[in-house]
Amino acid sequence: DQQVKQNSPSLSVQEGRISILNCDYTNSMFDYFLWYKKYPAEGPTFLISISSIKDKNEDGRFTVFLNKSAKHLSLHIVPSQPGDSAVYFCAARWTQGGSEKLVFGKGTKLTVNP
């Protein structure tokens, strides 16, 4: 049972336009959501996060929106740049047995075309 779903395996956008990456989750116990970016042959790197008590968090060109009622979050990148081309993972955090765990989606490969 996949608790964090990224239903789009890939996304292609033109440079300068907006990229919107989507993520759905099923577990209402998640209290924190994170986005990671991964380049080939490298480990994932943290991008931006949002607490479950907020609905928006912005950091430069990156904005994450959270819709708790829909159990949906999205990452907006604007304007998109070719260097943003990578695989983006959505992750959700919850506490189980006194320890925190991260659950990841399968990732969305973003390609930004010049």
Partner 1 sequence: SAVISQKPSRDICQRGTSLTIQCQVDSQVTMMFWYRQQPGQSLTLIATANQGSEATYESGFVIDKFPISRPNLTFSTLTVSNMSPEDSSIYLCSVEDRMNTEAFFGQGTRLTVV
What is the binding site for partner 1 (CB under 8 A)? 2, 4, 32, 34, 36, 41-46, 49, 89, 91, 93, 99-107
Minimum Å distance from CB 15 to partner 1? 27
Q: Both tokens of residue 21?
A: 């990456």
Q: Closest approach of Cβ 53 to partner 1, in Å? A: 13
Residue whose C-alpha is closest to residue 91's, from 1, 2, 7, 4 = 4
The answer to whether 34 and 46 have CB atoms below 8 angstroms apart is yes
Among residues 92 and 112, whose Cβ is nearest to partner 1?
92
Residue (62 or 104) nearer to partner 1, CB: 104
Rounded to the nearest whole angstrom, what is the least distance from the CB of residue 73 to partner 1 in the complex? 15
Closest CB to partner 1 among residues 63, 89:
89
Neighbouring residues of 108: CB distance < 8 A, sequence distance ≥ 6:
6, 8, 9, 10, 11, 21, 22, 87, 88
Cα 97 from Cα 31, distance rounded (Å):
15
Q: Shortest distance, CB of residue 62 to partner 1, whole angstroms? A: 14
